[in-house]
Amino acid sequence: MTTLQSDMAPTASPPRASSTAGWIGALERTARIDADPDRIFPLVLDAVAAERAGAPALIGTDETLTHGDLAARRHRYARWALARGLAKGDTVALMMRNRPDYLAIWLGLTRVGVRVALLNTNLRERGLAHCIEAAAPRILIAATDLAEAVEGAWPHLASPPELCWQGEGAEASLAAQAARFGGEPLAPEEAPAVSLRDPALLIYTSGTTGLPKAARVSHHRIMMWTHWFAGLADPGPDDRMYDCLPLYHSVGGVVAPGSVLLGGGSVVIREKFSASRFWSDVTESGATLFQYIGELCRYLTLAPPDPQERAHRLRLCTGNGLRPEVWERFQERFAIPRILEFYAATEGTLSLYNVEGKVGAVGRVPSFMARRSPALIVKHDVATGLPLRDADGRCVTAAFGEAGELLGRLSDKAEYTFEGYTSASESDRKVLRDVLKPGDAWMRTGDLMRRDAQGYFYFVDRIGDTFRWKGENVATTEVAEALARTEGVAEACVYGVAVPGADGRAGMAALTVGPGFDLARLHAELAERLPAYARPLFVRLTEELGHTETFKQKKAALAEEGFDPARTADPLYLDRDGAYRRIDRDLYEAISSECLRL
């Protein structure tokens, strides 16, 4: 292990090739994966470590691991797992904030066939318990600084897993136990044979309905994600990725770091995003790549001028959710040479990449790849929440410029196989059959898209009860359940509302309340039960919630009225400065004119 030094900054990166070269590079890198089914990602990194043992790999705030350090640590964790009796196919859950050790743990455990469930560190109580139970792990590895969150979930678990702590204050910590083992590469006879089709990770996603679902991620998907992205971004040994996204997500924890490590480069890992420190950190760390979600870029464009905002060495910023107006301001103000926007889902078999840099588009499928990566937009039936069917029972293809649900065709080929969730019923709901012909199968993305005549795809909205806020998908059922547990709440209706100048939709809850209800108590209890992004930003108190004849809540009308006091006599509130505060005309105008940052 080494410490970060100022002389570790990489030298200037050479100019990169054209967008066409990116497509070709991605195809070339992924074409060889299936030829060697036993070559999993940890083994690929072993080869990188053999060539670049002394070069920095993971740069955290407290420690930096070279490629050699990372290899030795993951080998020790792999041997620890074997010594603990963990067998191929067993599951271990991991709950830890962003740090180099996070990657070392899951890379080591998956090397010997253990599946690792990456838990969201923001979850609490029943939400966290639900995710633990969905994975059914033998062991939960948890950081000591998250002990309170773990303890809050424990009473809600029917069969709690064994606990293994990691971090300061832990007795017999994972690090201490693993230190007894050797750090050299594992010999073939030491570990079970692990192949590309074997499970590697469980990564949680909200999907289009309900509580978070545990999406299965095989070693094959990890190889495809990292190699495809490496082909598009072309990271080399001198590149350094700035990664402040959660490591429990597929992009922040697998795609971004994995593609750069693959090329022998390094990853700057930060626990969270800070607009005030961003440019100084990016500049001082020597980052050449930045993995974003659109909201981060918006925050930066709204921040006051920073003397280092154009002193960086970034050559590429890549991510998803970058709105057109933010895109242009972000790229021009901060002198960003290239932006690579993309669209993908953890459990999905379809991904889109805007290699050409067309502002506002999430990507396209080039004509020469149409047969390899088929994407289809079908008309959406708002009444049923399902794709519209014609008289023959087939889905109706949307016209150019028309919004519809994006589908990805499924096949027996590994990269187009839907690996599903731990819940069989949730997996079945994701697959759509007899779409264009009898017997075909397509995966529902849950996203409304439109496509222009040039083949570019544009995101329109999420389908169903899930909305997206602060880069996270929020399931309204989970929020409503948390609200219903508060004294005095008779009924809760949760939905997303558009906020001027903000990406996605903010959470809003319409409540009917009775004796014992207290806004301050509601605010305090939601802070304990829900992560920040899932807590309703707006609250509406109403005497009666409208229902359909089938007793479904009329969310559309509530969402359309939003938080405008001129549209309703019901009292409206905004979560501001640690409490729910009444929205009057002045406060509403401040939000609408984007004078108030939310």
Q: Which residues of 485-524 are buried (b: 16+ CB within 10 A; e: fewer)?
A: ebeebebbbbbbbebebbbbbbbbbbbbbeeebebeebbe
**Distances in Å between the alpha carbon of 386 and those of 271, 379, 382, 389, 473?**
39, 9, 7, 9, 19
Residue 485, in any domain of the structure: yes
Q: What dihedral do alpha carbons 517, 521, 525, 527 form, nearest 10°? A: 130
**What is the reported pLDDT for 595?**
85
Q: What angle do CA 111, 115, 120 make, to 5 degrees?
A: 120
SS3 call for 29: helix
Domain stop point among 289, 317, 343: 343
Please report where in the chains the tokens 């501001």 appear, as a residue: 576
Q: In the listed set 462, 497, 522, which residue is the last one of a domain according to the structure?
A: 462
Question: Which residue type sits at 585?
Answer: R
pLDDT recorded at residue 108: 98
CB neighbours of 598 closer than 8 A, spacing ≥ 6? 499, 502, 506, 537, 591
Q: What angle do CA 420, 423, 429 make, to 5 degrees?
A: 65
The count of C-alpha atoms lying within 13 angstroms of the C-alpha of 226, restricted to the half-sphere facing its C-beta, is 23
| 28 lies in the same domain as 154 | yes
Same domain, 254 and 320: yes
Pairing of strands 441-451, 404-409: antiparallel
Find the CATH number of the domain harbouring 474: 3.30.300.30
User: Does residue 457 form part of some domain?
Assistant: yes
Half-sphere exposure of 485 (CA within 13 A, CB side): 15
According to the model, what pLDDT value does residue 208 have? 38
102 and 43: one domain? yes
**What letter would DSSP give residue 435?**
S
The token duo for 534 is 């899932």
Query: What's at 386, amino acid-wise?
Result: L
Q: Within 13 Å and on the Cβ side, how many CA atoms surround 421?
A: 23
- Indicate if 291 and 312 belong to the same structural domain: yes
* Residues 366 and 385 grouped into a single domain: yes
Examine the fold and report which residue of 311, 343, 375 is the final residue of a domain before the chain moves on.
343
Contacts of 553 (CB under 8 A, 6+ apart): 493, 545, 546, 547
H or E segment to which residue 426 belongs: helix 424-430
The per-residue pLDDT for 547 is: 61
Q: What share of the chain is helix, strand, coil (3-state, %, to 5)?
A: 35, 25, 40
The CA distance from 448 to 450, in Å, is: 7
Question: Does 413 map to a domain?
Answer: yes
- DSSP notation for 436-470: SSTT-EEEEEEEEEEE-TTSEEEEEEE-TTEEEET
Q: Kindly state whether residues 102 and 221 are assigned to the same domain.
A: yes
Q: Report if residue 1 sits inside a domain.
A: no
Tokens describing residue 533: 């992004």
Residues 114 and 182 in one domain: yes
Say what the alpha-carbon torsion angle 230, 232, 236, 240 is, to the nearest 10 degrees: -80
**CATH classification of the domain holding 96:** 3.40.50.12780
> Based on the domain organization, do 188 and 240 belong to the same domain?
yes
Q: Which two tokens stand for residue 115?
A: 């599946």
Whether 110 is in a domain gets the answer yes
What contacts 224, CB < 8 A, 6 or more positions away? 30, 33, 415
Q: How many separate domains does the chain show?
A: 3
Residues 472 and 440 in one domain: no
Residue-wise DSSP of 544-574 = ---B-TTS-B-HHHHHHHTT-TTT-SS-EEE
Query: Is 502 contained in some domain?
Result: yes
Residues 293 and 156 both lie in one domain: yes
Note the pLDDT of residue 475. 72
> 375 is in which domain, residue-wise?
352-462
Q: Residue 396 to residues 117, 384, 390: CA-CA distances in angstroms? A: 38, 15, 6
pTM, entire model:
0.83
Contact 235, 289 (CB under 8 A): yes
Determine, yes or no, domain membership for 598. Answer: no
Q: Say if CB 215 and CB 418 are below 8 A apart.
A: no
Residues 145 and 228 placed together within one structural domain of the fold: yes
C-alpha distance across the termini of the chain, in Å: 40
Do residue 427 and residue 471 come from a single domain?
no
Digit-by-digit pLDDT tens for the chain (598 residues) are 544 333 344 444 434 445 677 888 999 999 999 999 999 999 999 999 999 999 999 999 999 999 999 999 999 999 999 999 999 999 999 999 999 999 999 999 999 999 999 999 989 999 999 999 999 999 999 999 999 999 999 999 999 999 999 999 998 999 999 999 999 999 999 999 999 999 999 999 864 345 789 999 999 999 999 999 999 999 999 999 999 999 999 999 999 999 999 999 999 999 999 999 999 999 999 999 999 998 899 889 989 999 999 999 999 999 998 988 789 999 999 999 999 999 998 998 889 999 999 999 999 888 777 777 789 999 998 767 799 999 999 999 999 999 899 999 998 887 889 999 999 999 999 999 999 999 999 999 988 899 998 899 998 877 876 677 888 878 787 788 889 889 999 889 999 999 998 888 899 999 999 999 999 999 999 999 999 999 999 999 999 887 643 345 778 889 999 999 999 999 999 999 999 999 999 999 999 998 888 8
**597 domain-assigned:** no
